Amino acid sequence: MSKETVMIIGSCGQVGTELTESLRTLYGTSNVVACDIRKPEADFWSEGPFEQMDVLDVKKIAELLKKYKPTQIYHLAALLSATAEKNPKLGWSLNMDGLFYVFDAALEFGVKRVFWPSSIAVFGPNTPKQNTPQYCVMDPNTVYGITKQTGERYCEYYHKRYGLDVRSIRYPGLIGYKAEAGGGTTDYAVEIFHEALKNGKYECFLGENTFLPMLYMPDAVKATLEITHAESNLIKNRSSYNISGFSFTPALLAEKIKKHVSNFEITYKPDHRQAIADSWPQSIDDAEARSDWGWKNDFDLDAMVADMIKNLAPRYKTGEM
Ligand code: SER
């Protein structure tokens, strides 16, 4: 196998943290270059190459591509739905200019493959809510959703026009125990576990019946690595693939958590994120990903809840968290 060097931009976020770990296992720690605007303290990051980088610093991107000559880039840096609504101009520029800088640098420095995640936020109020198809009305009404939809169009454009091997999936809400969620509307589904184990109660910022599509992080990492390692001819969609795990409401999740934390209580105080959640699909049809490159999730709702508790509970008990 020819030597691969992988660069992860936005490495310290919810997805980046887990992807860095998996890519280090696949390619060797020294061949995975983690880049993030924040300089993290944890030892994990100093075990391999780490560069502090702002994705809006186009000169720095070129400098690092020259230095490391990555063969693959995972470009994950973005402002998520809730954070981008607080700063719409920055949301657009970080999510779009950052994407152009990375794509153009990838072309200039001969990067073999680029992964960029899209999101269920590309859908909007007029999208069919149940089993949302791959192709349908898309009228995103958040800055995050608008940038993800535009980004998808540019993925396809850079592939067709310049031959860039870019691959993408639309992540649903992601749940994991290794890193914090990063400013999205679906973050409640991570916070709820920590609060349940720490305090036995959680005030949810979405209403009890808000049904949203979600995916457990091991499946999100699996999907990401499968699409990036599939033979190129299997990737028929060069914008972004729907992928799906399971869907639930805060009330249903609370009920499942109660089976493990019997005194757990949930209350509801919907905030501005409710309108964002209401504009998104409730479940996703991912038939194309399944047939094109063999995607299949391993975790259902019960398995995810059990695994989250299994991994987090001991850390609260020993006082590590
Ligand atoms: N988890 C993201 C968000 O809530 C959706 O892709 O913004």
Measure the CA–CA gap between 312 and 257, rounded to whole angstroms: 12
Domain with CATH 3.90.25.10 in the chain: 177-214+245-284+294-316
Domain with CATH 3.40.50.720 in the chain: 6-173+216-242
Measure the CA–CA gap between 161 and 124, rounded to whole angstroms: 28
CATH number, span 6-173+216-242: 3.40.50.720
Which pLDDT tens digit goes with each residue over 284-311?
999 999 999 999 999 999 999 999 999 9
Coil, helix or strand at residue 205:
coil
What separation in Å is there between the alpha carbon of 121 and the centre of ligand 1? 7
Coil, helix or strand at residue 59:
helix
What separation in Å is there between the alpha carbon of 238 and the centre of ligand 1? 21
Statement: residue 204 has pLDDT above 70 = yes
Cβ contacts of 1 within 8 Å, gap of 6 or more: none
Measure the CA–CA gap between 205 and 48, rounded to whole angstroms: 37
Q: Which two tokens stand for residue 150?
A: 């535009």
Q: Which two tokens stand for residue 213?
A: 């599509």
Mutate to test the pocket of ligand 1, among 76, 147, 169, 185 (most ligand atoms within 8 A of CB): 185
More reliable by pLDDT, 180 or 54:
54
The yes-or-no answer on residue 144 being catalytic is: yes
What separation in Å is there between the alpha carbon of 109 and the centre of ligand 1? 31
Mutate to test the pocket of ligand 1, among 14, 79, 94, 119 (most ligand atoms within 8 A of CB): 119
> What is the C-alpha radius of gyration for the chain, rounded to an integer number of angstroms?
19
Which atom of ligand 1 is nearest the CA belonging to 148?
6
**Mean model confidence pLDDT for the chain:** 97
Pairing of strands 72-75, 6-9: parallel
Q: Which two tokens stand for residue 100?
A: 């152009």
Statement: residue 320 has pLDDT above 90 = no
Q: Which of 74, 101, 144, 241 is catalytic?
A: 144
Which pLDDT tens digit goes with each residue over 61-104?
999 999 999 999 999 999 999 999 999 999 999 999 999 999 99
Q: Residue of the nearest CA to atom 7 in ligand 1?
A: 184
Average pLDDT, integer, range 222-229: 98
Q: Residue of the nearest CA to atom 1 in ligand 1?
A: 173
Which atom of ligand 1 is nearest the CA belonging to 171?
6
Among residues 252, 242, 248, 168, which one has the least CA distance to residue 214?
248
CB pairs under 8 A, 24+ apart, for 139-143? 140/279, 141/279, 142/81, 142/84, 142/85, 142/276, 142/279, 143/79, 143/84, 143/85, 143/88, 143/91, 143/92, 143/95
Predicted confidence at residue 2, as pLDDT, reads 60
Q: Residue of the nearest CA to atom 6 in ligand 1?
A: 119
Cβ contacts of 122 within 8 Å, gap of 6 or more: 138, 140, 145, 148, 149, 152, 170, 240
Measure the CA–CA gap between 117 and 151, rounded to whole angstroms: 9
Which atom of ligand 1 is nearest the CA belonging to 82?
7
Chain position carrying tokens 């490391």: 68
Measure the CA–CA gap between 121 and 119, rounded to whole angstroms: 5
What separation in Å is there between the alpha carbon of 63 and the centre of ligand 1? 31
Statement: residue 1 has pLDDT above 70 = no
CATH number, span 177-214+245-284+294-316: 3.90.25.10
Cβ contacts of 104 within 8 Å, gap of 6 or more: none
Mutate to test the pocket of ligand 1, among 149, 168, 174, 186 (most ligand atoms within 8 A of CB): 186
Q: What is the 3-state secondary structure (H, E, C) of 239-304?
A: CCEECCCEEECHHHHHHHHHCCCCCCEEEECCCCHHHHHHCCCCCECCHHHHHHHCCCCCCCHHHH
Average pLDDT, integer, range 182-190: 95
Statement: residue 171 has pLDDT above 80 = yes
Burial 208-226 (b: 16+ CB within 10 A, else e): eebbbbbbbbbbbbbbbbb
Q: What pTM does this model have? A: 0.97
Measure the CA–CA gap between 183 and 295, rounded to whole angstroms: 27
What separation in Å is there between the alpha carbon of 156 and the centre of ligand 1? 22
Residue 319, CB-side half-sphere exposure with 13 Å CA sphere: 0
Number of H helices, E strands in the chain: 13, 14
Ligand 1: lining residues by beta carbon, under 6 Å: 80-81, 119-121, 144, 171, 173-174, 184-186
What separation in Å is there between the alpha carbon of 8 and the centre of ligand 1? 19
Which atom of ligand 1 is nearest the CA belonging to 173?
1
